[in-house]
Amino acid sequence: MSLRVEYHPEALAELEADALWYEEREVGLGYGLFDEVTRVAIDAAETPGVWPLFPDVRVELEVRRRVLRRFPYVLAFKLVGDALVVIAVAHARRKPGYWLHRL
């Protein structure tokens, strides 16, 4: 049984903004980002414990990561009750840990 997927409001906002940016560059590309993030989050919710802990984040926070294949993004997520909460949809070249205040 997989967990339900929830998004931190700031994670959802960054996903929407980045998808719009890609869509403005090429029709369909923004939808591709949105679809991949959704698919990866659902997949992570099915087997959350197999994904590695996020590097350089205190272990006791138990923040895990999942790298996207098509786009240069990483999902930072945490298990909260019966939900997988996406904390950040982080661009791989953005300042590491910018999202830690969301915890």
CA distance 58 to 82: 22
Q: Tens digit of pLDDT for each residue in 44-90?
A: 999 999 999 998 899 999 999 999 999 999 999 999 999 999 999 99
Instruction: Give the mean pLDDT of the chain.
Output: 95
Q: Tens digit of pLDDT for each residue in 8-30?
A: 999 999 999 999 999 999 999 99
pTM: 0.93
CA distance 73 to 75: 7
Domains of the chain in sequence order? 4-93 (3.30.2310.20)
Residue 36, phi then psi, degrees to nearest 5: -65, -40
Buried residues in 91-101 as b, exposed as e (16+ CB within 10 A): eeeeeeeebbe
User: Are 74 and 87 a contacting pair, CB within 8 Å?
Assistant: no
pLDDT in the model for residue 54: 93
